[in-house]
């Protein structure tokens, strides 16, 4: 039972560390239940000054349902257009039947300024001992606000400086699918992808004419977008901080092999950043070391490269979990 339970938990932890939605299924029902009872501490960082720390707890209600909760802190380097320090918490639930499974997750990010982000994700899966087929849905609402002093030349006012307040709301939906193929009890492949559609609304407060307000709105939209959409730069769209990056589409492939006391995973992610021609490719390797009947230590290393940046970003992480 240890092998299948640890394997399922290992893949779940590695996926969480990489910001993926990947679910692993154990062959035995009792093993799967054991894999969903755990507490974990996770840390990750990169050489672009992004870091993330979180704690997660997962508990089962019988054999057919589980609940999860997490708290953490994400630091997204502001010097590169990031969002600074964001506190985040999340809750999730899952319901499992003989051949179907449904999951739901909610996460909330907030910094000390005016940025707030709420993400909702859900999936529905059909599975057997060999194959898993799933459909995924995603919804995001992000709000930001800022005060600006705009110096520009306006049709009526000429060259002047105007103090104004602007607010932006970014809402988006995503739809995708994923599959897991268990070639043996020890080896499986996971595939997944999702496409996104976003709407952007900017509201400006100013005491000028309608034409000047439109001009200010266009300027502010560009400026606020650089704050609200940090994924234009390579660092923020790497693995560590990608949960706050608006994406146009994403694809991922995972290879997993489990030995008696060690699990190895290789993961590839291809991201296209929203409203840009930037694409980023991330490759990571992780090992899950099973210590005794309950402990798992999982280090991860990887690298992200971009078609619009010659500097690769190196990242790494470590997860420590206890399951029973």
User: pLDDT tens digit string along 106-163?
Assistant: 999 998 878 899 999 999 999 999 999 999 999 999 888 777 676 766 666 677 777 7
> 80 in helix, strand or coil?
helix
The per-residue pLDDT for range 232-284, each reduced to its tens digit, is 344 455 678 888 888 899 999 999 999 988 999 999 999 998 877 888 899 99
CA distance 222 to 26: 48
Residue 23 pLDDT > 60, yes or no? no
CA distance 286 to 236: 21
Among residues 5, 105, 103, 7, which one has the least CA distance to residue 56?
Answer: 105
- The per-residue pLDDT for 155 is 66
Task: Give the residue, 207 or 28, on which the prediction is more confident.
Answer: 207
| Mean pLDDT computed over 28-55 | 82
The HSE-up count of residue 289 (CA atoms within 13 Å, CB side) is: 8
> 56 in helix, strand or coil?
strand
- The per-residue pLDDT for 7 is 39
| Banded model confidence at residue 39, pLDDT cuts 50, 70, 90 | very high
CA distance 40 to 17: 11
> 204 in helix, strand or coil?
strand
| Banded model confidence at residue 213, pLDDT cuts 50, 70, 90 | low
Task: Compute how many other C-beta atoms are within 10 angstroms of the C-beta atom of residue 62.
Answer: 8
- The per-residue pLDDT for 28 is 45
| Mean pLDDT computed over 8-36 | 48
pTM: 0.82
CA distance 229 to 245: 6
């Amino acid at each position: 039972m240890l092998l299948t339970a640890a394997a399922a938990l290992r893949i779940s932890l590695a996926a969480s560390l990489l910001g993926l939605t990947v679910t692993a299924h154990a062959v035995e029902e009792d093993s799967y239940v054991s894999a969903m009872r755990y507490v974990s501490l996770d840390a990750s960082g990169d050489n672009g000054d992004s870091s993330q720390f979180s704690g997660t707890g997962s508990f089962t209600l019988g054999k057919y349902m589980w609940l999860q909760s997490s708290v953490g802190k994400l630091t997204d380097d502001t010097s590169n257009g990031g969002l600074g320090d964001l506190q985040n918490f999340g809750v999730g639930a899952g319901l499992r039947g003989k051949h179907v499974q449904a999951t739901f997750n909610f996460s909330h990010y907030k910094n000390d300024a005016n940025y707030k982000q709420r993400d909702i994700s859900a999936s529905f899966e059909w599975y057997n001992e060999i194959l898993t087929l799933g459909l995924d849905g995603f919804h995001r609402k992000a709000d930001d606000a800022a005060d600006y002093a705009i110096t520009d030349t306006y049709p009526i006012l000429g060259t002047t400086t105007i103090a104004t307040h602007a607010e932006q709301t970014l809402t988006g939906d995503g739809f995708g699918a994923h599959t897991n193929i268990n070639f043996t009890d020890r080896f499986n492949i996971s595939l997944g992808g999702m496409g996104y559609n976003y709407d952007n609304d900017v509201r400006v407060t100013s005491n000028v004419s309608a034409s000047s307000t439109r001009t200010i709105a266009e300027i502010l939209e560009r400026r606020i977008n650089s704050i609200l959409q940090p994924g234009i730069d390579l660092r923020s769209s790497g693995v560590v901080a990608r949960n706050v990056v608006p994406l146009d589409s994403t694809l991922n492939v995972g290879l997993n092999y489990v030995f008696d006391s060690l699990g190895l995973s290789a993961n590839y992610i291809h991201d296209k950043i929203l409203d840009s021609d930037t694409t980023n490719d991330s490759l990571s390797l992780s090992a899950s070391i099973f210590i005794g009947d309950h402990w798992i230590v999982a280090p991860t290393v990887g690298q992200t490269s971009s078609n619009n940046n010659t500097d690769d970003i190196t990242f790494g992480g470590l997860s420590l979990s206890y399951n029973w």
